[in-house]
Amino acid sequence: MSDLVEELLAAGRGLAASGMSPGTSGNVSVRVGDEVHLSASGTSLATLTAEQMARTTLDGTPVTEGDGPTPRPTKEWPLHLAMYARDPEYRCVVHLHSPSAVAASCLAPWREHTAFAPVTPYVVMRVGNVPLVRYAAPGDPAQAERVRGSALRFHGALLQNHGSIAAGRTVAEAVDRAVEIEEAARVRLLLGDRLDARLLTDDEVRELVEAYGQPWG
């Protein structure tokens, strides 16, 4: 078993234990060479095993092992492949139905480039832009095409009325971004539509972007 897959399984258990992947919701993947290892359809991140990992090529062709194909991948596999297509350095994608991100995905975004106003430094430091991707039914290739074809730079997004997706060059980076999106969503919900909430100034945001290098605007 690849070390990346082993790391992913451990990360999945951690996400489930923290309440960010209830039941069989959410799915994860890693890129190993020219293959993508994805959690299989109907699996729980709390109990996911190496035997429950599906494998495809980068164009979605199932990988055959022994006498037949590996398990059927999550129906969200087009979304995972769309994220890998955006950046050849990505090695992990995390898609969650975490409660705050789901709730925030039902609200109007702050700006076109990001759903979240910069009320704290952290989403700017750790993720950058978090756009709201227009709704499509789970597994619909149309949503994957919106992600793949977006000209906006981003490492994570909210999927309208659905949840979140995040990618990274390592498993830890992708998971950290998914967690930060959930925290930013929670803060968004706590603040509601308060008009007196202080936002970071343009200069303060610019300083963070220059220091941490995440995409913004």
Residue 117 burial (10 A CB sphere; 0-12, 13-18, 19+):
middle
- Please confirm, yes or no, whether 183 is among the known catalytic residues: no
DSSP tag of 135: P
Tokens representing 44 are 């729980």
Q: Which residues contact 29 (CB under 8 A, 6 or more apart)?
A: 8, 36, 37, 38, 39, 77, 80, 92, 93
CA pair distance 98, 13, nearest whole angstrom? 14
**Catalytic site residue 76?**
yes
* Residue 50 per-residue DSSP state: G
What gap in Å lies between CA 37 and CA 94, rounded to an integer? 12
Which position among 76, 173, 180, 182 bears the catalytic label?
Answer: 76
Q: Among the options 7, 35, 84, 122, which is catalytic?
A: 122
Neighbouring C-beta atoms of residue 156, cutoff 10 Å: 28
Q: How far apart are CA 215 and CA 197, in angstroms?
A: 23
Phi, psi of 115 (to 5 degrees): -70, -25
Amino acid sitting at position 209: V
> Which residues are identified as catalytic?
76, 122
